[in-house]
Amino acid sequence: MSYPRKHLLAIEGLEPPHIADLLDLAESYALLNRSGKTQRDLLKGRTLINLFFEDSTRTRTSFELAGKRLGADVINMSVSTSSVNKGETLLDTASTLNAMHCDLLVVRHGQSGAPSLLSQKVDAAVINAGDGTHEHPTQALLDALTIRRHKGRLEGLVVAICGDIAHSRVARSNMHLLTTMGSRVRVVGPPTLIPAEAARLGVEVFHDMKAGLAGADVVMMLRLQRERMSGGLVPSAREFFRFYGLDAEKLAHAKPESIVMHPGPMNRGVEIDSAIADHPTRSVIGEQVEMGVACRMAVLDVLSRQLPRNR
Ligand code: ASP
């Protein structure tokens, strides 16, 4: 197993063998989970703290489930009940976590770079569960695993990532992972929602759904991240749906066997039509959630192997 780091802060900088090994391990956890068996010894005696400064449904619960399935003691620190609301700084929180001998720290924060800052101050291995508009590395891993299970590979696939690319850490992690693994990545959205760095990341830019989806193997839809937008970057939700919302008519331009993905939470009728979101054969949105648990087990497994025993 080739994973070169103590933490998982970003996909950027990982090389193909690191990603492939993580996905292979996650695949074996996916099979184990489906068989109903658990592996409760691996993280026995380890403490995993989920520290979430932003809302989350899937990510927080799946890290909790992943930690428990591997036998860790899991603590969820909800920021609304912690001292952060009383003015404690991020770094004071870090020293508290150190004193508790936390082994694995899962952090979500509204500020890009916050998990990286914490990783310099805590003894624990830190996993970025989404920081600002920067990265969401475990989401990209679970997306890649879901794609690989359906298409058998990542190399050479045409993947169209659509909607609010500029504010999406999911898009950023996926662009890094998929281009590293040899996929042909397209980003599709209005000019106001495409980041200037897209070209540097080696992806093709489209402003028209018909052209962007033509011949795609994978169509990945994203939520409009209004909480990160300053000013009106998009017209009304209705108009956005008309031009960029995925419905049967637009999906018809992708390959007939293409799959539809969404990291959640979905805004039905804004970026995706309900009939597509719930499509029995094309939508793999439920499977993404399932693969999320497997990928997070793989990440916890790999990072825990590098922790000193008896801390
Ligand atoms: N759940 C994802 C994230 O935390 C996507 C989203 O919020 O739209 O980035």
Q: Is the pLDDT of residue 262 over 70?
A: yes
For residue 311, what pLDDT is reported? 57
With beta carbons less than 8 A apart as the criterion, state whether 145 and 26 touch: yes
Mutate to test the pocket of ligand 1, among 52, 139, 270 (most ligand atoms within 8 A of CB): 139
CA of 27 from ligand 1 middle (Å) equals 23
For residue 180, what pLDDT is reported? 98
Q: Rounded CA gap, 59 and 50, in Å? A: 10
Query: What pTM does this model have?
Result: 0.96
Grade residue 92 by pLDDT with cuts at 50, 70 and 90: confident
Whether 67 lines ligand 1, by a CB cut-off of 6 Å, is: no
Mind giving me the DSSP string for 178-222? HHHTT-EEEEES-GGGS-GGGTTTT-EEES-HHHHHTT-SEEEE-
What interhelical angle do 16-35 and 137-151 show, nearest 10?
70
| Beta carbons within 8 Å of 88's beta carbon, 6+ residues apart | 82
With beta carbons less than 8 A apart as the criterion, state whether 179 and 186 touch: no
170 to 4, 6, 85, 134, 143: CA distances (angstroms):
22, 22, 27, 8, 10
Does 85 or 162 have the greater pLDDT score?
A: 162
Q: What mean pLDDT do residues 224-248 have? A: 88
Among the atoms of ligand 1, which is closest to the Cα of residue 223? Answer: 8
Whether 262 lines ligand 1, by a CB cut-off of 6 Å, is: no
Closest CA to 42 of 273, 241, 298: 298
Residue appearing with tokens 């770094």: 91
With beta carbons less than 8 A apart as the criterion, state whether 260 and 150 touch: no
φ, ψ of residue 216 to 5 degrees: the values are: -75, 145
Q: Is the pLDDT of residue 84 over 80?
A: no
Q: Is the pLDDT of residue 130 over 70?
A: yes
Whether 263 lines ligand 1, by a CB cut-off of 6 Å, is: yes
Whether 60 lines ligand 1, by a CB cut-off of 6 Å, is: no
Q: Is the pLDDT of residue 144 over 90?
A: yes
The string of pLDDT tens digits covering residues 171-225 is 999 999 999 999 999 999 999 999 988 988 999 999 999 999 999 999 999 999 8
With beta carbons less than 8 A apart as the criterion, state whether 12 and 135 touch: yes
For residue 278, what pLDDT is reported? 98
For ligand 1, atom 4, the nearest C-alpha belongs to 130
CA of 170 from ligand 1 middle (Å) equals 7
Q: How far is CA 266 from the centre of its chain?
A: 14
The string of pLDDT tens digits covering residues 215-233 is 999 999 999 988 888 777 7
Q: Is the pLDDT of residue 310 over 70?
A: no
Grade residue 87 by pLDDT with cuts at 50, 70 and 90: low
Whether 134 lines ligand 1, by a CB cut-off of 6 Å, is: no
| Beta carbons within 8 Å of 200's beta carbon, 6+ residues apart | none
Whether 261 lines ligand 1, by a CB cut-off of 6 Å, is: no
Q: Rounded CA gap, 220 and 188, in Å? A: 10
Residue type, 200: R
With beta carbons less than 8 A apart as the criterion, state whether 101 and 280 touch: no
With beta carbons less than 8 A apart as the criterion, state whether 49 and 102 touch: yes
Whether 163 lines ligand 1, by a CB cut-off of 6 Å, is: no
CA of 23 from ligand 1 middle (Å) equals 21
Closest CA to 61 of 138, 131, 114, 147: 138
CA of 53 from ligand 1 middle (Å) equals 13
Among the atoms of ligand 1, which is closest to the Cα of residue 139? Answer: 2
For residue 81, what pLDDT is reported? 60
Among the atoms of ligand 1, which is closest to the Cα of residue 108? Answer: 4
Q: Give alpha helix (H) positions in 36-89.
A: 58-69
For residue 85, what pLDDT is reported? 62
Whether 223 lines ligand 1, by a CB cut-off of 6 Å, is: yes
With beta carbons less than 8 A apart as the criterion, state whether 10 and 134 touch: yes
Q: Is the pLDDT of residue 5 over 90?
A: yes
Q: Rounded CA gap, 201 and 187, in Å? A: 11
Q: Rounded CA gap, 285 and 109, in Å? A: 24
Closest CA to 122 of 42, 3, 9: 9
- Residues 80/81/83/84 CA torsion (nearest 10 deg): -10
